[in-house]
Amino acid sequence: MEVQGMFVGREAELAQLRDCARAVRSGQPRVVLVEGEAGIGKTQLLRRWLADPALEDFTVLQARCDSSEQDFAFGPIQQVLSSMPRSLRDEFPLLKGPIPATTPSYEVGSQLLELTSSLQARRPVALVVDDLQWADMASLHAWGFVCRRLDADSVLVVLTTRTTDRERNPDHDDTVRRLMNDVRGSVRLPLPGLVTGQVAELIHQATGRPVSEATAEQMRRHTAGNPLYMTMLLVDLPEEGLAAEPVARLPVPPSLATVVRSQLLHLPGPSRALVEAAAVLGTPMPLALVGRMADVAAPAPALEAALEAGLMRWLPNEPSAPVELTHELQRQAVMETIPPDRRRQLHAKAEHLVDRHAAWAHRVAAAGPTDLQLAADLVAAADEEFTAGEADRSATLLLWAADLEATRERREHHLLTAAARLAAFERYTRMASLLTRVRATAPCAMRSLVLGADALYRGTLAAAEAHYAEAVAQSEEEGDTWTGLMARVAMSGVLNFLGRHDEGINAARDALAMDPGMSWARVNLGTGLALAEGPQAALRELAPITRTVVRSVARGRPAGAYLLTVQGAVRISAGALTAGIEDCATAVALSRSHGVPALADFAYGLTAAAQYLLGDWGDVPISINHAHAITASGDGKAVAYDWEHAVASWLAAGRGEWDRAEEHVRAAESRSGLARNAHNSTLCAISRAILAQARGDQRAMLQAVEPLEQAEAGWATHLQVFWLPLHSEALIGLGRLDRAETAVARLRATARDTPCLRTAASWLSGRLAESHGDVTLARTTYEQVLSHRPEADVVLLHRAMLEHSYGRLLHLGGQTAEATTWLDGARQRLEQVQARPFLDRCAGDLPLPRPPTVGGRGTPVQLSGRERDIAHLIGRGLTNKEIANELFVSSKTVEYHLSHIYDKLGFSNRRELRDHVQRGALRDAGS
């Protein structure tokens, strides 16, 4: 009886998939998650849908995740790429060949997005990923990036996943859940068990005989409506097994494994051997090779019986026409029936039929309980994988090696090494699954290192420090250099978090003495120096190293790009805003061209902060969106999340969008655990003060920044470039002039080495002089700055407030014409960035006739946020492809929004829009 290929009871779900395809044709992307228990029919639904004529005009990209490949970064993505023409892949540097495991997932996702954009030029695209529960996290994050950035694309993403595997990998399941919640146009398609009528139809298809409703209901209850279980049970029943009425008792217990074992017993010997060989292989393989492995001289007749039983399937449309077990559950059940000696023999043969990576599993399965040589080979392979950045694969090989060792000491060493390597790549969820075994090992340096990593992950810094200190001491006794190095690096970061910067600096220096090339020790050293001694000390440490990084890139050896990001962050905190932005941009460019880690989310967050100060408010949302795209994809760090929300709140406050500003501040303030640290608290205080400044609430400004004033080191002093002017402004506004004298003196002293604070120091010094009634001194102070061209790194709001204060002083002195010039200059700066609260305050402070605004055609129109970003970049002269690259969207999306911009603004070409934006008229076209 043939049972394969039946399709029962899924017409509604098939119709939903067809509806999604129709929506995609009209430029409405869809992401569909088909979910259900094992054997419920997810893959069968996909096969039926992919064969549907409604998909004939789609370019279909497919990947099937495999449980044996979960350790390999980007494995399923490489499946998709391998089916594409090489000429197309050559346009995308990271996708040309094997993708290095260390490549940031968002970079792979970004290039995949543009690749699908290229394909859309001809036909809509369907990306189908089966068995997502077995995808590696890097691929999952990359696909998540693609799905979140689909906008006006003709792309349909269909994912299938098991609900029965969720408890095994909660981190994986949480990532998928967040993805579906985040994506606009997402569709969840749960597959329940078949209902009674559908069961009756399936039985009719399988047996050719109708059954009563009572019999169908009996079968439904027995199998919970699982189609796979039912079809296997039906094959095992004799022809007379199902009568028109329900039988007294179905002849098998409710277990699919039991059904499969019964099936095997009824197969001819050659067929059973073929099924067993295919089960051991666990991957599609040409029939002739499977037959040779099974010692079956005539595999074709043997296959017929296995096909008839529904245990195997043949894939004649693939180049090698391979065969495989029909379902993973069947494969597992077959494996349980094979005697141990026979299973080891089959694994030994399989080793020579699969690739070198898959061969390791077969070698281990073919080995005896102890095999020292194989254990040594596995350790050597694990070292190679770790060097290549494949932490998960390295850990798996080490755990296999542990099972083959003869001594407890060697087993524990491999276990601890595996856990430590997972921690080194921040694979904390998998590391946590080993902790029970780790705690049972004998005390040693590496055990303490792993326990320290677990404590750090859980946010218990004191416990983490204690474990790392213990690891350092133990490593010296044991001569374990690597563990001692890693413990010192980790401890330096913990000590910085705890505010004990001098100790953190010493730990980082100790690590660098052991390995001068340890970049993360250099990161922690630079951070510690910046927090303890100020930015200049950090820059002296970082500058020579970052010059080496740039030179190495010129020679084609990109490394340490994140050091450039750290240097950029320190420069921004030192007031060298433009230079800091350039460092961050260089780091991000390296990441995008070479696929190297660069702390890009942090780089974008810091860039947004500097752009806010400089008055490049049109670029701020673009940088924030970049940071958000990376953190949402799973590649980001907690520190970037803080900057993302902080700067978003600053921009919203500056434009008078009070609800949005409050929303972002509250998001940052809601952080908990390790994320709720001094860095987070400082940024939240600054954000509260900036929001209060925009509202004109000087009391709230002072309340927000007063706690920062007392700090002698740490994040409060490191980030004082953002709050020192706010402190002085609040004190002057509240009339607390004695304290204001001290605050302004501190601001002036700091401004000597902090370029971007010099304008604020002059402005607030003049304001203080006015408050004391010394108009002459105030005027002289203002004119000392305004008599020269603005320096680089001038904060736009500070300059506008300085010009406004000077113009107001001139007006009070009767010099109305000259006052108008300076007041108009201040107003134009504020209009340039749409700083509505500041404009309104200036107008209320000193009303003057307001000149008509330049630009715009008739009534202002409302552009969406995406449209404003694209128009802004058109004004900078970027092409559509450059804009897509800049915004992390596809070229198709840019084209779609550009057509809407033309319609809304009444333009017919790019030049008109560019001129409109460059005249500054875009600011009148909505928010």
DSSP labels, 784-843: HHHTSPPPTT--HHHHHHHHHHHHHHHHHTT-HHHHHHHHHHHHHHHHHTT-HHHHHHHH
pLDDT for 214: 87
Q: How far is CA 863 from CA 296, 566, 904, in A?
A: 69, 36, 8
> Mean pLDDT in the chain?
88
Q: Tally Cβ neighbours within 10 Å of residue 53.
A: 6
pLDDT for 182: 87
Rounded Cα distance between 292 and 307, Å, is: 18
* Range of weakest confidence among 200-214, 605-619, 735-749: 200-214
Residues 229 and 262 sit within 8 Å (Cβ to Cβ): no
pLDDT for 634: 77
pLDDT for 239: 56
pLDDT for 672: 63
Residues of the chain with CATH 1.25.40.10: 445-533
Rounded Cα distance between 351 and 344, Å, is: 11
pLDDT for 411: 97
pLDDT for 557: 57
Superfamily (CATH) of domain 11-190: P-loop containing nucleotide triphosphate hydrolases (3.40.50.300)
Q: How far is CA 720 from the centre of its chain?
A: 30
**At a CB cut-off of 8 Å and minimum separation 6, what does 533 contact?**
none
Rounded Cα distance between 31 and 769, Å, is: 62
Q: How far is CA 301 from CA 187, 420, 712, 894, in A?
A: 44, 51, 83, 57
Q: Is the pLDDT of residue 175 over 90?
A: no
Residue percentage of the chain with pLDDT more than 90: 58
Q: Tally Cβ neighbours within 10 Å of residue 366.
A: 19
Q: Is the pLDDT of residue 802 over 90?
A: yes
Residues 633 and 106 sit within 8 Å (Cβ to Cβ): yes
- Which tops the pLDDT comparison, 728 or 792? 728
**Tokens representing 743?**
């605050």
pLDDT for 38: 86
| Confidence grade of residue 677 (pLDDT, cut at 50, 70, 90) | confident
pLDDT for 242: 59
pLDDT for 454: 95
Residue-wise pLDDT tens digits, 44-75: 899 899 988 888 899 999 999 988 888 889 99
| DSSP letter, residue 313 | E
pLDDT for 926: 40
**At a CB cut-off of 8 Å and minimum separation 6, what does 825 contact?**
803, 807
Q: Is the pLDDT of residue 707 over 50?
A: yes
Task: Return the top range by mean pLDDT from 190-194, 472-476, 599-603.
Answer: 472-476
Instruction: Give me the CATH topology for the region 865-924.
Output: Arc Repressor Mutant, subunit A (1.10.10)
Q: How far is CA 154 from CA 418, 508, 891, in A?
A: 43, 50, 12
**Tokens representing 295?**
């010692």
Residue-wise pLDDT tens digits, 357-402: 899 999 999 998 999 999 999 999 999 999 998 999 999 999 999 9
Rounded Cα distance between 453 and 467, Å, is: 9
Residue-wise pLDDT tens digits, 585-595: 998 988 887 77
Q: Is the pLDDT of residue 611 over 70?
A: yes
Rounded Cα distance between 364 and 354, Å, is: 14
pLDDT for 853: 44
| Confidence grade of residue 848 (pLDDT, cut at 50, 70, 90) | low
Q: Is the pLDDT of residue 856 over 60?
A: no
pLDDT for 852: 47
Share in percent of the chain as helix, strand, coil (round to 5): 70, 5, 25
Superfamily (CATH) of domain 445-533: Tetratricopeptide repeat domain (1.25.40.10)
Residue-wise pLDDT tens digits, 328-338: 888 988 998 99
Instruction: Give me the CATH topology for the region 261-366.
Output: Arc Repressor Mutant, subunit A (1.10.10)
pLDDT for 185: 81
Mean of the pLDDT values across residues 496-511?
A: 94
Mean of the pLDDT values across residues 634-656?
A: 88
Rounded Cα distance between 149 and 514, Å, is: 43
Mean of the pLDDT values across residues 262-283?
A: 93
Largest CA distance in the chain: 111
pLDDT for 846: 62
| Confidence grade of residue 432 (pLDDT, cut at 50, 70, 90) | very high
Residue-wise pLDDT tens digits, 709-761: 988 889 999 999 999 999 999 999 999 999 999 999 999 999 999 999 999 99
Q: Is the pLDDT of residue 840 over 50?
A: yes
Mean of the pLDDT values across residues 817-825?
A: 92
604 burial type by CB count under 10 A (0-12 exposed, 13-18 middle, 19+ buried): buried
Q: How far is CA 616 from CA 557, 577, 585, 620, in A?
A: 33, 12, 15, 7
* Range of weakest confidence among 5-19, 621-635, 723-737: 5-19
* Range of weakest confidence among 162-176, 217-231, 752-766, 883-897: 162-176
